[in-house]
Amino acid sequence: MQRYDKRKYDELRNIKITKDYTKHADGSVLIEFGDTKVICTAMVEEKIPIFLKGQGKGWITSEYRMLPSSTVTRKIRDSSKGKVDGRNMEIQRLIGRTLRSIINLEKLGERTLWVDCDVIQADGGTRTASITGAFVAIMIAVKKLKDAGRIKELPLDHFVAAVSVGVVQGQPLLDLCYEEDSKAEVDMNVVMTETGQYVEIQGTGEARPMSKEELSTLLTYAEKGIMELINLQRKTLMEQ
């Protein structure tokens, strides 16, 4: 099969990370996975949840939303519905879990990092773009803490990124756009560190079960893509 945008089967979309995208956040980026665009911001709050009082460590929490015009048909805001969208809740919990897994909360100190991921344009892979961009945003924020002498060292255990993989017309693919994702027989999201350790794997047989061989290929594609994303994260963070 030929991919919708003529990429190789194991090729990422055009990825771009723009640092310091907003004025007031402690860390911010605009991350683009092809036509998917997400603003990721991190802000430091000098307090922690009650359940962490006296433990000498911090916390990271996240929120994820898709703006009304991010999709072809207008997406209704949660505030208009009077409840949080279940998908949004699932994704923001995934983002929070991921970031807490690779940040040393003791070294962060008794403060909270608030991470917001706002999708301004959706074309597949919004959760994986959000995770990849959110990591860069919090790293910008914690570097400012260190530079200001508020923490002694960067509270980083690992770099982390995420990417989607799937099977379309029997062919395993890396980083699915919406056109591919909507037709996928198998759909997966993989979150991984730079050491090749898995933080989370979400895999579903949408139209049929997947074989062991397909799973192996999808994980190989995901690792390739994630290592490329982490290299881009490093390059972005090194830019002045």
Number of domains in the chain: 1
230 within domain boundaries: yes
24 within domain boundaries: yes
What angle, 0 to 180 degrees and rounded to 10, lies between the N-to-C axes of helices 126-147 and 86-102? Answer: 40
Q: pTM of the full predicted structure? A: 0.95
90 within domain boundaries: yes
173 within domain boundaries: yes
Residue 204 marked in a binding site: no
Tell me the backbone φ, ψ of residue 146, rounded to 5 degrees: -65, -45
Give the Å distances, CA to CA, from 147 to 47, 58, 132: 20, 18, 23
Structure confidence by residue, pLDDT tens digits, 129-149: 999 999 999 999 999 999 999
7 within domain boundaries: no
Residue 36 belongs to domain with CATH number: 3.30.230.70
* Residues 207-210: contacts with CB under 8 Å, at least 24 apart: 210/167, 210/185, 210/186
**Domain range for residue 141?**
15-238
58 within domain boundaries: yes
Cα–Cα distance measured from residue 123 to residue 173, given in angstroms and rounded to the nearest whole number: 16
167 within domain boundaries: yes
Tokens describing residue 133: 């961009």
On whether the CB atoms of residues 136 and 17 are closer than 8 A, the answer is yes
Cα–Cα distance measured from residue 178 to residue 200, given in angstroms and rounded to the nearest whole number: 22
Residue 7 marked in a binding site: no
Q: Sign of the CA dihedral 145, 37, 76, 202?
A: negative
Residue 126 marked in a binding site: yes
Average pLDDT over residues 147-163: 96
8 within domain boundaries: no
Average pLDDT over residues 3-22: 95
pLDDT surpassing 80 at residue 83: no
Structure confidence by residue, pLDDT tens digits, 117-131: 999 999 999 999 999
Structure confidence by residue, pLDDT tens digits, 26-59: 999 999 999 999 999 999 999 999 999 989 999 9
Strand extents, DSSP E, the chain? 15-19, 27-33, 36-45, 59-66, 112-121, 160-168, 171-174, 186-193, 198-205
